[in-house]
Amino acid sequence: MDRNLITLKSPSLILAGFGALAKMGEEAGNLEARKALLVTDKGIVDSGISAKVEKVLTDRNISVDIFDQVIPDPDIACCEKCIDQAKAGRYDLIVGVGGGSSMDIASVTSTLCTNPGTVHDYFGVNLLKKQGIPAFLVATTAGTGAEVTPNAILTDTAVRLKKGIVSPYILPRAAVVDPELTLSMPPRVTSFTGMDALTHAIESYTSMNATPLTDMYAREAIRLIGGSLRTAVARGDRRDTRYDMSIGSLYAGISLANAGVGAVHALAYPLGGQFNVPHGIANGILLPHVMEFNVPGDVVKFAEVARLLGEQVEHLSPVEAAYRSVEAVKNLLRDIDMPKTLTELNIPRSAIPEMAAASINVTRLMANNPRRMTAKDSEKVFENAF
Ligand SMILES: [Fe+2]
């Protein structure tokens, strides 16, 4: 099999590490922005993080208004409210601050200020025609990777479906990943956003669309997250650990944006859509079971995942080493106090056939999976997760 062609989609600027937020102020100054809309949620306002971002901008004589109505798994109505405010205010900079939800709403708002019509016109791939007004995305978790991915997800409540706008114009002018902003993240949020990031790294590393370039990011992401997630949950105030988590999550996001994710994310969709299970928790529960199914699809890479997660594999056969990656993830879940079964979440077993059917319909992601998965296979994986 030929290796996949290397392509790299990424924001034109990435600022990552302690001090990244201050540097963002400089960039906003370079853009000669005068009026910014900060898009976030109430939790980020209460935590004081949005005030920190606001100060960086006002110090550059940029006036700031705040839209703080972003909700988890935002729906179209939430996004339209933000777009209305942005259009009325004639801003020259949009700054999304938060997890995936706030960053996605900020990206869509930026593009709908310059493209005609409504969000409904742009669900799908490459439908946006124009660059939006400049957007900066400031990640406050480590994380969703939304600051570096060219897609934004909204819930269409009318049909109870998540819909995506996929376009290079969804990428921000600058992605800002400052670990300082994650220091006060509670352990529960650290654990499930961290598992989302680890899932991005492992799924994109073993994706059919992986390239030597995405492998480079994914491997380092697995090593960094595997080496720091336990400590980040146990001692969230450790700056070295938060740094590793932030950079690991960023690299996982770059790998995901270019290689895609697979069956874990496909199976997590119905758990989120039908039972409102938070994305990172659904991924965490499913990850080891999907990996166990996927091992025969790429023994070499799963053996490498085990090694990157710190397992001693030198004395093992390649297949034994590959299955050790599954054990490594299970041990990690135990140490960060994550739910490990769907039983713990009170999901009824009777939902399995419908969830399996829904997961197989996510063909965009299933196409990336290293082993072909049928509806029967998906049912089996769900059963193992109970
Ligand atoms: Fe994810």
Structural domains in the chain, CATH included, are 13-182 (3.40.50.1970), 187-384 (1.20.1090.10)
DSSP letter for 6, please.
Answer: P
Ligand 1 centre to CA of 368 (Å) is 14
Q: Mean pLDDT across the stretch 123-150?
A: 96
Ligand 1 centre to CA of 29 (Å) is 33
Ligand 1 centre to CA of 92 (Å) is 30
Ligand 1 centre to CA of 199 (Å) is 7
Please choose, from the candidates 320, 319, 338, 342, the residue with its C-alpha nearest in 3D space to the C-alpha of residue 330.
Answer: 338
CA distance 367 to 52: 42
CB 372 within 8 A of CB 365: no
The full DSSP string for 254-279 is HHHHHH---HHHHHHHHHHHHH---H
Q: Mean pLDDT across the stretch 9-36?
A: 95
Ligand 1 centre to CA of 351 (Å) is 22
CA distance 189 to 61: 34
- Using the predicted structure, report yes or no on whether residue 161 has a pLDDT greater than 80: no
Q: Mean pLDDT across the stretch 85-96?
A: 96
Ligand 1 centre to CA of 319 (Å) is 27
- Using the predicted structure, report yes or no on whether residue 4 has a pLDDT greater than 80: yes
CA distance 148 to 204: 14
Place of tokens 């990336």: 368
* Confidence (pLDDT) at 94: 98
- Residue 379's identity, in one-letter code, is E
Ligand 1 centre to CA of 173 (Å) is 22
Say which residue, 73 or 356, is predicted with more confidence: 356
Ligand 1 centre to CA of 169 (Å) is 20
pLDDT band at 40 (very low <50, low <70, confident <90, very high): very high
Ligand 1 centre to CA of 198 (Å) is 9
- Using the predicted structure, report yes or no on whether residue 106 has a pLDDT greater than 90: yes
Is 29 buried (19+), middle (13-18) or exposed (0-12) by CB count in 10 A? middle
Q: Mean pLDDT across the stretch 241-260?
A: 98
Helix axes 375-384, 352-361, angle to 10 degrees: 130
Ligand 1 centre to CA of 265 (Å) is 6
Sign of the alpha-carbon dihedral angle for 8, 223, 373, 364? negative
Contacts of 344 (CB under 8 A, 6+ apart): none
Ligand 1 centre to CA of 237 (Å) is 25
Which tens digits make up the pLDDT trace of 199-223?
Answer: 999 999 999 999 999 999 999 999 9
CB 365 within 8 A of CB 261: yes
CB 217 within 8 A of CB 251: yes
Element housing 191 (H / E): helix 187-205
* Confidence (pLDDT) at 1: 73
pLDDT band at 143 (very low <50, low <70, confident <90, very high): confident
Q: Mean pLDDT across the stretch 156-178?
A: 91
- Using the predicted structure, report yes or no on whether residue 320 has a pLDDT greater than 80: yes
DSSP letter for 146, please.
Answer: G
Residues for the chain: how many in total? Answer: 386
- Using the predicted structure, report yes or no on whether residue 157 has a pLDDT greater than 90: no
* Confidence (pLDDT) at 156: 86
pLDDT band at 276 (very low <50, low <70, confident <90, very high): confident
Ligand 1 centre to CA of 159 (Å) is 22
Is 31 buried (19+), middle (13-18) or exposed (0-12) by CB count in 10 A? middle
Ligand 1 centre to CA of 149 (Å) is 11
Which phi and psi (to 5°) does residue 137 adopt?
-115, 120
> Average model confidence (pLDDT) for the chain?
96
Residues with CB under 5 A from ligand 1 (ion): 196
Please choose, from the candidates 182, 183, 191, the residue with its C-alpha nearest in 3D space to the C-alpha of residue 335.
Answer: 191
